[in-house]
Every structure is written in structure tokens, then in C-alpha cells.
Structure 1
Amino acid sequence: MKHIKHLIKLFLITSLNFFNISIAIFIGISRYIFREKFHVKLIDAKSAFDLKAGDSVLVLAPHPDDETAGMGGTISQLLDNDITVTVALLTDGSKSKAEKLQCINSQERAATRRKEFNNATKLLGVDQTFFGSMEKETAEWPSPQQLESHVQSLIDKFNNCNVKIIFTPPSFDFHPHHRATSTIAKKLASSLKSLPKVICYEVQAPFNSYQPDYWIKLNPLDKQRKAKALKAYTSQIHTLKSVKRLNNLRQSLSLSSAPVEVFTNIEKLVDENALGHGMFPLPTYDIPLLFRSKLNYNARYSPK
């Protein structure tokens, strides 16, 4: 009887090891096929966006923290390559539903978020920020008049700055303010003398798995600066989970050990096609990201 128990134990161990080895082989082959067939090219930001030292780019942030969550590492990398980066904040964030801000009035919430924004951008190395005709955040923001006011204030500020690229959240984003910012970016790009490109950064809504045009590989210093800048938004700690899920998603799809940020040319985006319904579906651990979806945002406004 004792020998039989040992044999059973040995059989189970051997079977389990065989199973583990089989899984490892399967994953290895899959990763090899994936890399061959759907090769993702990781590249530095300066080369990816065809920029040179002295060039200027503009980052539009609908709320304080979007610029850091979406492209904090890329901002850091561009600045290290002598690219001028200006971050323009479009709302005051006073309608934030963050638990830490519920005990103070809207004016104090706006002041808190402005302070966090200033601290975060400094940690990224940004010394040029712009507030322009920044409006109080409302569910209906922006009205047609506010939209035109934003565009005009940005034209007045940047028309002679030779801006090469405007970065914005995409038009299909879950949040209505992010979608409005995309509209502002397109109107602004067609009005500036330099006729800049408009490139979308990923904030809440994941791009289609293989849709991004640019996969920016972040170096350890970029990663460190972004992490510190995100922590500066002490009232918005809940957003860190979404950022982490997106980072995990992009890192796994790129088969990289380094963190990655992705971008897409705005003219390439086609509404709902970017919500992760591509050749390779979103991993299940990213499903909560989709449930903070346009269904919720369209049914009832839930500002950040």
C-alpha cells in the first residue's frame, strides 16, 4: 500500500511537471509567432515623432493628471532630448468626485488640483504650462462658446511658436471632456500657422490592441519620473489603478520588460473600432477598465 501511494505521488508530480513544461513551451512558441506575425516596434519618442532639438510640442490635458497618466514618461523623454513641451490644462478639476476632495468646496478643490498639477509637471521636468481660458468644470463643458474660447486662447498663445505636434486624448474616450479636448485639438491644428500633426495619447479607453502607430519605450528614468508625478496627485490615487492596468496591457502586448506608452495619429481613429475589439482581445484583467465605459459616462455624467 505504501509503494502504491509513492507511485501515485510520483505520477502526480511527473504529470504536473509535464503540464508545466507543456504550458511553458506553448507560451514560448506563441510569443515567437506573435513577435514574427504582429511585430511591435518599440522606439524612442524623439525618433518616433520625427522631432529634433529645439522643436516644440503642445500637450492638451482636459483635467489635472491626464497629461501624466497618458504620456508622463514620453514628456520626460522629450524634455531630455531638448524638445520644448508645454502642457495646457483646459478645466480646473473642481467637479472631481474623489473621496479626499468631498469635504471641501469647489473653489478649494480647484486650488488643490492646480497645486497637484504644478507639482506633477515639475517632477516631469515641465517648466511651461498654460491655463488660457480654463473653465470651471461642468457636466456640459464645453459649450460651443467655451470651445471657441479655448481654441482662440490657444491660437493667441501658440500661433507663433511653430508647434510641431499637438497631443490629445482620443475622440472615442469614455469621458466627454476627453472627447471635447480632441475636438479642440483638431480645430486648433487647422488654425495654427505651423499646421501641426495631432496625435492621441491613451488615458482611459484602450486603443485597439494593434492600432497604435507609436510604441514608446520608456527608460528607467522616465518610469521613475512618471511614478513620482502620479503620486503627486494625492487626491486622485484611485486613477493609479487604471494607469497600472493600461501599463500592464501595453507591456504584455509589446513583449517588453520595459514600460510602454502608445500613441495613434488622430486621422486613423474610427470611433468604436478602438475599444479593444481587434485581432487580439484585451486580457481579462483589463475588463474593469472597459466597464468604466462610455455606457456609464453617457448615461450619467461622472467627472473625474
Structure 2
Amino acid sequence: MDRDRLIVEGDGTPERDWLPWLHAARLPSVTAEVLVPDGARAVVVAPHPDDEVLSVGGLLAQLAESDREVCVIAVTDGTASHPGSSAWTPADLGRVRALESQRALALLGLLQPPLRLALPDGRLSEMRPVLEDKLLSLLRPGDVVFTTWRLDGHPDHEAAGHACAHATRQAGATLVEVPVWAWHWAVPGDPRMPWAGACRLQLCANALPRKIRATLAFQSQLQPDDSTGAEPILRASTVARARRPFEVFFT
């Protein structure tokens, strides 16, 4: 992973910089029905619990309203989010984050719990062949697979993106990648981001409040850790980006 895409301390590029640029950029508009055509299944591959909401929570809320078939795959259980913590052990995190994810999806209108692969959090780069095989056993021809961008800046996100790219090619599915951490390290107009293949989904009136409520379901990631002094995992800027009335996809 290139050093210029590392996720550093702080809130990164603020929304006050991103929002005017994204408005002026006039990315091509897309609808949920175009992204996931009638008869297709939407498959969301989330490296960690919360990535499904941060990346495509608004889209999922709209797909739930239109009764599209949706499958959410949780690659890891997010057990490495609080290293060294006595308040949040890996066992605690595995249990609590699974419940948070299920609650968040219910707030989006999806009652089917995620399919959990239980791969090791923080080690997806070395587990890529295993993840590719697991995805190939789960994908169908015609699926539309949403996952984190292959150059997102987080090793697990990038590994998930590469694994999905391989699996979708083999399965005859379509890949759509979504930036999550890239909004942190990139800047408006950043040439490292594939704007030529970007499109924008405007969220309907019901989808945005559902996504905001779903983001707040991840309380384990939104609270500081008194046992280590660590700040919340989901930074204020991350939560602010989840409040955008649109989502951006790379197709």
C-alpha cells in the first residue's frame, strides 16, 4: 500500500472542502434501480461491521423499500478495533459488533442478518485467497457486488476490494467499489481517485435518516476508550460523511 494513502491521525479532509467540490463536479447521476436492475441481487461485502452502512447504507435503505434481494457478507467480526483495551476485548467486540450490525441493517429495513465469514480482522491481505474462494462459493451470475475500493487506504478494505474483483470476474457478477477511508486522505479533485468512473446516487427522503440512525447503532465505535485513552474509532469526520444526502460509487 502506497505511503501517500496512509490513514493518519485527525479528521482528514473536512466536509467543508469535499461538499462544494462534489457539487461542482456534477458526477453522473445513477438510481438504485440502475445500479441493481430488476432480478439482480445486491451483495455487500463489508470488511468490518459498519462498512456496509458507511459505504452503501442509503442504497440499502432504498433497495429495502423496493424489495430487491440483498445479501450482506461480513468478512471479519471487527475484533481488532480496540488493541490493548481492557474495556473491549476481542471476544466482547465479536459479540457486540455483530449485534450492532444486525441492528443497523434492521434500521435500514433489512431483517436478514449478515452472513459472517469470521476471517481475522487486520489480516485480510494475507487471507485474500481464502476470501476469494469463500466469495466464489457464495456469488451468483448476475449479482451486483458492492465493496470497499481497492485503493481505499485501509489494508483490509483494499484486500476486500481485490478479492471481490477476482471473484466477480470468475462468477460473472458486476463489481461496484465504494470509497470509505479515501475521503480522509484524498483531497477534492485528487488524481489518485478514479473520477472518470464515478457516479452519484441521490438518497431519497426516507433513506438518509435511516442511514444516519444506522450509523449511530455502532456505539462500540463511537465512544472513546477510557481504558486506553483512545479516541472513538469512527471519527467525527467519518460520521459527518455518513450524513451526506448522496453516495458515490466507482463502477
1:56-107 superposed Cα distances (whole Å, 9 cap, x missing partner): 01111000001101110011112222221111011111111289x6413211
Asked which structure has the greater RCO (Cα within 8 Å, sep 6+), the reply is 2
Structure 2 counterparts to residues 65-80 of structure 1, below 5 A: 65-80=50-65
> Number of residue pairs matched?
211
After superposition, the Cα gap between the structure-2 partners of 1:57 and 1:172, relative to the gap in structure 1 and judged at 3 Å, is same
Counterparts of 1:127 and 1:187, CA distance in 2: 29
The structure carrying a bigger helix percent of its residues is 1
Q: Structure 1 length as normaliser, TM-score?
A: 0.63
* Alpha carbons of structure 1 residues 163 and 119: separation in structure 2 relative to 1, 3 Å: farther
1:246 matched to 2:241? The reply is yes
The amino acid across from 1:187 in the alignment is H
Q: Distance in 1 between matches of 2:36 and 2:80?
A: 38
Q: Which residue of 2 aligns with 1:97?
A: 82
- In the other structure, the counterpart of 1:220 is 205
Equivalent-residue separation in structure 2 for 1:98 and 1:185 (angstroms): 27
Question: In 2, Cα distance between the equivalents of 1:122 and 1:67?
Answer: 13
- Taking a change above 3 Å as real, the CA distance of residues 85 and 218 of structure 1, as seen in their structure-2 partners, is same
2:65, 2:40 → 1: CA distance?
12
> Larger Cα Rg: Structure 1 or Structure 2?
1
- How do residues 5-20 of structure 1 correspond to structure 2 at under 5 angstroms? none
Q: What's the offset of the Cα at 1:240?
A: 5.5
Quote the residue 1:148 is aligned against: 129
Residue number among 32, 40, 57 corresponding to 1:45 in the alignment: 32
Instruction: Give the root-mean-square deviation of aligned CA atoms.
Output: 2.5
1:241 shift after superposition: 1.9
1:154 deviation in Å? 2.1
* 2:95 corresponds to which of 99, 105, 111: 111
For residues 231 and 65 of structure 1, what CA distance do their matches in structure 2 show? 10
Q: Which amino acid aligns with 1:198?
A: L
Aligned partner (choices 214, 218, 230) of residue 229 of structure 1: 214
Q: Distance in 1 between matches of 2:31 and 2:83?
A: 34
1:167 aligns with one of 146, 156, 174: 146
Gapped regions of structure 2 (runs ≥ 5): 1-19, 223-231
CA 1:224–1:78 in structure 2 vs 1: closer, same or farther (change >3 Å)? same
* 1:106-160 per-position Cα deviation (integer Å, ceiling 9, x unaligned): 111211111111111121122342113x21324x4342xx32222222222234x
